[in-house]
Each structure stands twice: as structure tokens, then as C-alpha cells.
Amino acid sequence: MKINKSKKLIFYIFIIIISLIIVGLVGAIIRLINLPAIFITILIVGGLSYSKKIEWIQNNLKSILKLKNEKNSVDLSFISKKQAASKSLKSIDQLITLINDEVKAKALKDEKNRVSLELERGDIILVVFGIGSSGKTSLIRALLKRIVGKVSPEMGSTRSKETFRLKLKGLPRGIKIIDTPGILEAGKAGREREKSALIEARKSDLMLVVIEGDLRSEETRTIRSLSKSGKRLLIVLNKIDLRGESEEKRLIEILNSRCSDFIDPKDIICTSASPQTITIPGKRPYQPAPEIDALIRRLAYILHEEGEELIADNILLQCSNLGKEGKRLLVKQRSKSAKKCIDKYGWLSSGVLILTPLPVIDMIAAAAVNGQMVIEIARIYGVQITKERAKNLAFSMGKILATMGLVNGGVSLISSTLSLSLPTFVVSKVIQGISVSWLTRIAGASFITYFQQDQNWGDGGIQEVVEYHYNLNKRDEYFKSFIRRAYERVIDPLVEKKFKKLPPRSRPQKVEDSLDL
């Protein structure tokens, strides 16, 4: 008992001493606190911070400034891309005014108006894409946490696109999810559904390509093409509950190898949108929850970091595609008009030479190229040139036809084709007339190339262009089409005028007419 009392006494004395020391220290500190002490303390702390002894303050400030700068940079990039898109749409308006086909012009204008509305939209467009029965609709159900659409083990359960809306925490924009019909389905209806799915895919900001195993070659080709065209996409390997870990790893390795040229390994994600029900004897079947957390995390990261850029890039891409379509229509329209012009001058030149044959073959080159034809072709391509300029171009073309031996080659070709089937009295002048018409086609086609390339003959010069069109018009299908028209436009009317009845003559078999030059 005495020993215990002694221990307690020592403990109390120790506590009292410690308390006195603490009180003394606190009192001393309080006595030291005054304005000079506070000022000195601030100077010391500031000096330590400046000398990077307290780096965390600086790091925090830098992080805040960096985030602010990055946000400003993204905002500026988005604004500049929207401005570029607006400028592109204005140029499409100019293209529309040049297209004569009212139906095609209206379709182009409607699409342009749709893209214009894209500039002001609020939601990010997420397209779910892939073959039928891969689990696209089930994946959307899992993301929305509610039953939507129609699911079936058979292909083709989604017949047309369906649209849903999702809001992820932390994202200022909503997500517009579009469920598309399956691709690579058989039959005409299947091809139409695939076409519809591809149209939606090309309008997307981000794509989820849902697969259930290794990619088929057709699938790989399709998604590679979409990726190369500028589409951002994720590959979702669904139904992982149906395979073991080793099989899952093997598939991931195959996909990484097959898609390495257009997909980041981080963008290949495994999911189980609708896991199989587990039967428990004597109890109700157990339905596991969908395994889509990895997909949601990746989606949230991409849309947070790249969302604004994806929208801007997609709008710019759609503007670019729209501009290309407008230019394609205009090129086709101009080409058709220019070929009609060449056809007209070709047969006019032919008629003139039949009435007044030339004394020497070499003069055919000059007769084949008409300065007025050059002016009209230029006008079709929106180029105004003087008569002097047209005359110089025509002279250069005639000189090239003669010096390259194309006149003699053309006359020889026409002569060998027609001489045996023509009456003797018209052989000479008809061969000259038909030859000049054929050479006019070659010269005219060469001028089409020249004006299509902004009045540039290209790296190979005028000789290469003329030689290309000469060889093209020598091809059997083009040459036979030309000879058939020569009979209809020149030979038959000429012979029938001289003789009312003639025995049947051999001529090239009738083929589909072509104005390809």
C-alpha cells in the first residue's frame, strides 16, 4: 500500500512540473507577440517561400493558373473553330448558287442548314455503333439505368435509330445517345439499315463501337475508315461475363494488335451490359448488376478533357464533307456542260472539213482546236479569258497535237476503222471530218483538265495531259461509242443524201453512248 501511494505522489509531482513548463512557454510566447515580431515572422516565411523551401504554395498557385490557362485555351480553340465553320458554311452558300439542279441544290442547302444548327447545340452526340446482337441497346439500358429500346438474341432488333439523353455528374453538357441499327446484316433491308447507321456515325462527336468478340475484317475496315475520317471512338468489348479471364486477355491482345494504327489501348474497354442470370436452387434467380464502371470512367474523362474539342472538330468535319459534296456536284455539272460544248464544236468542225477538205493532213491539228470553244469551256468553269488568250491556247494545243504525232495517229486509226465500210466517193473527206471531230474531243478534254486544275497543266505539262486523253479515247469502249455517233451524225446523213438506197454496211456494234473524254 505504501509503495502504491509513493508512485501516485511521484506521478502527481511530474504532472505539475510539466504543466508549469507548458504554462511558462505559453506565457513567454505571448510576451514576445508584438508588431515587430509579426513583421519579422512574415519576412522569414516569405523568404523561405521565395527560395522554394515551401514549394507547395507555389505549386498550388501554378496548378490553379495552369487550369485557368487550359480552360481559356480550350475556349479560344472552340471559338476559333466555330468561326472557321461559319466561314466554311458561307462558302457553301456560294456553291449552292452555282448548282443548276434544283433538287440537288435544295438537298445541299437543307444539309447546310442542319449543320448551321449544330453550331448552337448544347448536347454532346454519342453514337452507339456495331453489328446486330452485340448488345448495343443493352449497353444503353445499363448507362441510363432504365429499360429502353428492344433487345433480342437475333440480329436486326433495332430497325431504326433511337435517341436518349444522359447526364453525367461534373459535365456541363448533356449527352445525346443515339442507338443505331446493326451493320453487316444480310439483304437489301440490312444494307439500308447499315447505310442509316453510317450516316449517324458520321454526325457523331464520339462513337462507342460495341463488339462481342474478335473483329471481322469488314468491321475493322469500316471503323478504321471512320477513325481515319476524323471520328473519335471507343471499342467496347461486351459480354465479358460469357468468357473467362484468360480468354478476355487474349481478345484484348488481338484487338490491340489489329487496331493499333487507329485506337489507343486505353480506348478498348470491357463491359458486361446485361450479365446472365445465375440460377440458385431453391431460391429466386440472381441477376448480377451490369459491369460498366470502366466505360463510365473513360467516358467521363474523355468528355471532360476533350468534349468541347470533339464538338468543334465534328462540326468542322461536317462542314468539310458538305463542302466536298458541293464541289463534287459542281465538278460533275461543269464536266457535263463542257463535254456538250466539245461535242458541238467537234461535229461543227467535222461538217466544215467535209464540205471543204484540207489539202494536207497536217492542217487538221489547227482545225481541231477552236478558240471560241476554249472561251466557252473557260466560262463554264467560271473563268473569263480574252479572245487573244483563247487563240494562244488553241494554237499551243494544235501545235502539240501535230508535233506529238497524234494527228497522223488519229487519222490512221479512223481510216482503218471506216475505209472498208464507206463508199469510195466519200472516203477521203469523211475520214478528214471524223478525224478532226475525234481530235477536238481530245483537245477539249485536255482543256477541261486545265481549267479544273485552276489553269494549270500539272507537273507533266500539256504534253502529259494531251497524251493521257489521247490514250483514253483510243480505248475500245470509248472509240466504238464515238464511231457509232459518227455514223449517226455524219456518215449516214451524207450517204443518204447522195443515194436514197444502199446495201447494208457493217458498222460497230451499238453500245451505250458515252461522253467520257
> pLDDT over 70 for what percent of the chain?
77
Residue 155 has pLDDT above 80, yes or no: no
pLDDT for residue 426: 64
What's the rounded Cα separation, in Å, for the pair 107 and 101? 10
Q: Tens digits of per-residue pLDDT, 332-362?
A: 999 999 999 999 998 888 888 777 766 655 5
What's the rounded Cα separation, in Å, for the pair 350 and 127? 59
Residue 247 has pLDDT above 50, yes or no: yes
- For CATH 3.40.50.300, the residue range(s) in the chain are 70-326
Residue 30 has pLDDT above 80, yes or no: no
Residue 246 has pLDDT above 60, yes or no: yes
Grid cell at residue 414: 479512223
Q: Tens digits of per-residue pLDDT, 400-440?
A: 888 888 888 888 888 888 766 666 656 777 888 888 889 99
What's the rounded Cα separation, in Å, for the pair 142 and 281? 27
- Kindly give, in sequence order, each residue whose CB lies less than 8 Å from that of residue 56, ignoring residues fewer than 6 positions away: none
Residue 366 has pLDDT above 60, yes or no: yes
Higher pLDDT, 353 or 42: 353
pLDDT for residue 374: 94
pLDDT for residue 514: 46
- What is the side-by-side order of every strand in the sheet holding 232-237? 162-166, 175-179, 124-130, 206-211, 232-237, 268-270
Residue 16 has pLDDT above 70, yes or no: yes
pLDDT for residue 76: 45
Q: What are phi and psi of 303, to 5 degrees?
A: -70, -30
Higher pLDDT, 83 or 463: 463
Amino acid at 365: A
pLDDT for residue 94: 87
Average pLDDT over residues 220-246: 91
What's the rounded Cα separation, in Å, for the pair 358 and 428? 10
Number of Cβ atoms within 10 Å of the Cβ of 320: 15
What's the rounded Cα separation, in Å, for the pair 275 and 290? 6
pLDDT for residue 471: 93
* Side-chain-side CA neighbours of residue 24 (13 Å): 6
- The rounded Cα 304 to chain-centroid distance in angstroms is 24
What's the rounded Cα separation, in Å, for the pair 438 and 364? 11
Residue 219 has pLDDT above 80, yes or no: yes
Q: Tens digits of per-residue pLDDT, 126-144?
A: 999 998 888 899 999 999 9
CATH fold of 70-326: Rossmann fold (3.40.50)
What's the rounded Cα separation, in Å, for the pair 430 and 490? 8
Specify the pairing of strand 206-211 against strand 232-237: parallel
Grid cell at residue 63: 496548378
Across the chain, mean pLDDT equals: 81
pLDDT for residue 68: 47
In terms of average pLDDT, the best of 144-153, 168-177, 202-211 is 202-211
pLDDT for residue 77: 57
Q: Tens digits of per-residue pLDDT, 378-389?
A: 999 999 999 999
pLDDT for residue 4: 57
Q: pTM for the whole thing? A: 0.66
Average pLDDT over residues 458-482: 92
